[in-house]
Amino acid sequence: MQWLQLIVGSTRDASSAIEDALLELGAVSVTLEDAADQPILEPGVGETPLWDNCTIKALFPNDTDTTQTTVQLEQLISRPLQSSWQQLEDKDWSQEWKKYFSPMKCGERLWICPSWIEPPDASGINLSLDPGLAFGTGSHPTTHLCLRWLDKQDLAGQTVIDYGCGSGILGIAALLLGAEKVIAVDNDPQALLATRDNAERNNIAAERISTYLPEELPADTVGQTMLANILAAPLIELAPKLTALTASNGLICLSGLLEHQITAVSQPYLGNFAFDDPAIETEWAQLAARKTALS
């Protein structure tokens, strides 16, 4: 099926009204993109921030009257717009996103491979991944830093906790790298579903990976290695819980923080952990430490 796309330039303040108007005029989808390469690195809790300048792209059926729609849009928002129409070639748009993912090596042994691509190294440790609706493809620096750290660890026989598991990528990598069992925790049921699906895709026996919402995690849970790739604020808030879930002399890997947040994130852990030097990739940081005290 052929489609028409309307591209509209907008400020942040005007974007909501334009989006509503486009949907009212029959757009089947509306996408907002950054128009000026302005990063949004870590939104506050409950915030859905936008860029100062946005490009809004609206998808319309091919028989749309473009002139009339443009006039009606400007009438609905009561001002002229910078806009243009373009014809989109016929594609399977449900599959188009897959072209942005390719196999990626993380460390010496581990490869992250999209489920629709053959692994490039048959002798390597290959994790087949379908991102689905959960965060975690290995391409983001925070995940990549954790995977490279995992690739260096001796996980044989360990129970590993993946707190904030997303797609399950870290926990599944731990199992493929020798861990005995993984306990995956996330407050999003969709993430737990994605984790179970990806574990099955990698031929992980169901009894080797357990998934829990945070409030359902058994009270006696403990792991020899703790993985938490979330954000700085929850890493600070969850410090007592993550500390308690980590076995004495166990390891903890924290990521999802920016380089300037290292001190603030590590501070609540210092009484129980001895930290290694941080690993940095672009603005992002990963912290690793060994637990030195009982708590």
Q: Where are the alpha helices (DSSP H) in 102-238?
A: 141-151, 169-176, 189-201, 232-237
Upper half-sphere CA count for residue 167 (Cβ side, 13 Å):
24
Question: From the annotation, which residues make up the binding site?
Answer: 143, 164, 186, 229
Q: Are residues 157 and 244 in the same domain?
A: yes
The pLDDT value given to residue 189? 92
Q: Are residues 144 and 272 in the same domain?
A: yes
Tell me: do 197 and 152 sit in the same domain: yes
Q: 149: which 2 tokens? A: 């750290």
User: Measured between alpha carbons, how far is residue 182 from residues 26, 61, 137, 176, 289 in Å?
Assistant: 46, 47, 18, 11, 19
Residue 94 located in a structural domain: no
As given in the structure block, the two tokens for residue 14 are 């005007």
Residue 161 resides in a domain: yes
Supply the range of the domain harboring residue 47. Answer: 3-89
201, 134: one domain: yes
Q: What is the pLDDT along the chain (295 residues), one digit of tens a residue?
A: 688 999 999 888 888 899 999 999 999 999 888 866 655 445 554 445 557 788 999 999 999 999 999 999 999 988 888 899 999 876 665 566 566 677 888 888 898 888 777 878 878 899 888 755 445 555 688 988 999 999 999 999 999 999 999 889 999 999 999 999 999 999 999 899 989 999 999 999 999 999 999 999 999 999 999 999 999 999 999 999 999 999 999 999 999 999 999 999 999 999 999 999 999 998 899 999 999 956 4
> Which pLDDT score is estimated for 20?
93
Residues contributing to the annotated binding site for S-adenosyl-L-methionine? 143, 164, 186, 229
Q: How many CB atoms lie within 10 A of CB 256?
A: 26
Domain shared by 84 and 122, yes or no: no
**CA 202/CA 120 separation, integer angstroms:** 16
Q: Are 240 and 214 in contact (CB under 8 A)?
A: no
Give the pLDDT of residue 40.
46
Same structural domain, 172 and 247: yes
Note the pLDDT of residue 200: 93
Pair 250, 242: CB distance under 8 Å: no
Q: How many CA atoms lie within 13 A of 197 on its CB side?
A: 15
pLDDT of residue 99: 66
From the list 99, 243, 230, the residue with the least C-alpha distance to 170 is 230
Determine contact, residues 276/254, Cβ cutoff 8 Å: no
Structure tokens at 90: 């016929």
Burial class (CB in 10 A: 0-12, 13-18, 19+), 79: exposed
Q: Do 79 and 150 share a structural domain?
A: no
The two three-digit tokens of residue 65, written as one number: 């009257």
Count of domains observed in the chain: 2
CATH at residue 73: 3.30.70.260
